[in-house]
Structure 1
Amino acid sequence: MTAFLTSYTFLIGLMFGSFYNVVGLRVAQSEGFFSSRSRCPRCGHTLSWVELIPVVSFLLQRGKCRSCATRISYLYPLVEVTTAVLFVVSLMMFGFQMELWLSLALMSLFMIVFVSDMTYMIIPDKVLLFFLPIFVILRFLEPLSPWYASILGAIVGGGLLAIIIIVSKGGMGAGDMKLFALLGIVLGVKKVLLALFLSTLTGAVISGMLVIMGIIDRKKPIPFGPYIILGSIVAYLVGESMIDWYVTTLFR
């Protein structure tokens, strides 16, 4: 892979990441992301193109609004850079194959969900419904083996979360359940189970550390979406290797 192609993909990822920030913030509040220009949430200042350059504007403005000096959330550059990195990783892993487009769509979904869940603790149905036909079509063109793995993945992913919600009496949200059902289409049964395990593990470890450090209150609800995203990215990209290693070690 040439340096030019890598750099180009990274820049494209930055631009899409900036857009996903807008989508994640506005769709969760039922706002149209094309209906109005971006503005400062504190003073209402309409942002010029100079203030909308991914990462660069944040650095030039030292993380503050040019109009009212209110500190800009680090969520914006984080999502932009993370999207860019995930786009490059997808290209490096899959090249110009059909799976690349599925990977890019999956990473896009993750970034939008990350923004909305971190900000409002909402995983919007509109976002999930938008990506549903995309995943179905791409998985039809690039099917798992066996062909029904995607169907079972959706049933298992959504079904397990539904059971957890019932048993825990609302310990997780319906948005998490719907997201896992959607992920099952992409990941299949084995990887969606691995994603659930990794999500739960990382959620317990990271949340526990944050509680011990006093950063979060154990009595306050926390968004589970980011942990789902982290576990699912690992399962999607290196899940086969992890499962093969586990089976080989277990039955050696």
Structure 2
Amino acid sequence: MYYLAVFALYAFVFAFGSIIGSFLNVVVYRVPNGLSVAEGRSFCPRCHAKIRPYDLIPVLSWFILKGKCRDCGQPIAARYPLVEAAGGALAVLCCAVYGFHLQALTAFAVAAVLLPLSLIDADTMTIPDGLLVALAVPAVASYFVMPGPGLAARAIGFFAVSLPMLLLTLLIPDCFGGGDIKLMAVCGLLLGWQRILLAGFLGLLFGLAAAVRLLVRRRGDRHSHFPFGPCLSGGVFLSLLWGDVMIRWYLAFCGIL
């Protein structure tokens, strides 16, 4: 009975996260196109027909409609249900790590900003300032609801990665985008200086893997640009969930602890 109750609770969490994921799809489409995310019903991006309420069931509606718009019959990108499922999975993951507390909700709020931010950066090579402002809300809230660094550590974290990135960009033009620098500044407030350094290191590893993949597939050269926001976002989220564990493991491995 206990496990059934836990399963039902996590199923509810997944459903909640997938609903948020459905909204994130709206953000990913509308923000780069200069459209309001708060006004107007969802519509097909091809024929602009309003989507019926019964076609807005996260994940399931895409399969029920066989991946096509009910009105124009044009294909609906598979990314839509994937983002919805990702929203559910992230919500479940946050609850699995933090339990059913405000900490989990705060962590999910961070993930719910990083996900569309990463997708928009992947699509447009830009990180909207509005999403960075939105990210600052759970970053500030985390000080009150999540165990973590104090104000001094967070203030240092604001500059710990963003300032070196800015200096490198001044020395090597286009080394990092302005959105990447601002992203790490906001996340420094969230994580503090220790975990933001870890997040930056992980982001560099992800970026290196992405660069190697481009070279192997012969889609770029040493001077090619690729979106770095998704790499940094992945590092930030991993550091948020397991940063302290990874840092302790590293220090123990080095014999410092």
Q: What TM-score does the superposition give when structure 2 sets the normalisation length?
A: 0.88
Aligned counterpart, 1:150? 154
How many equivalent residue pairs? 251
Contact 1:202 1:227 in 2 (8 A): yes
Distance 1:91 1:44, change over 3 A: same
C-alpha deviations, 1:96-152, integer Å up to 9, x for none? 334223212111111221232222222111121133244213314446334411111
Determine if the alignment matches structure 1 residue 201 to structure 2 residue 185. no
For 1:207 and 1:60, how far apart are their aligned partners in 2?
38
% identity of equivalent residues = 31
Contact 1:176 1:225 in 2 (8 A): yes
Aligned counterpart, 1:170? 174
Distance 1:100 1:156, change over 3 A: same
Contact 2:17 2:88 in 1 (8 A): yes
Contact 1:18 1:79 in 2 (8 A): yes
- Which of these residues, 9, 12, 34, is aligned with residue 5 of structure 1? 9
For 2:150 and 2:40, how far apart are their aligned partners in 1?
46
Aligned counterpart, 2:125? 121
Aligned counterpart, 1:233? 237
C-alpha deviations, 1:11-49, integer Å up to 9, x for none? 000000010111232123321112222222222222212
Instruction: State the SS of the aligned residue for 1:201.
Output: helix
Aligned counterpart, 2:87? 83
Between 1:63-72 and 1:39-48, the stretch displaced more is: 63-72
Aligned counterpart, 1:53? 57
Between 1:16-25 and 1:143-152, the stretch displaced more is: 143-152
Determine if the alignment matches structure 1 residue 33 to structure 2 residue 34. no
- Which of these residues, 94, 102, 120, is aligned with residue 98 of structure 2? 94
For 1:88 and 1:248, how far apart are their aligned partners in 2?
30
Q: What TM-score does the superposition give when structure 1 sets the normalisation length?
A: 0.90
For 1:210 and 1:72, how far apart are their aligned partners in 2?
27
Displacement of 1:6? 0.4
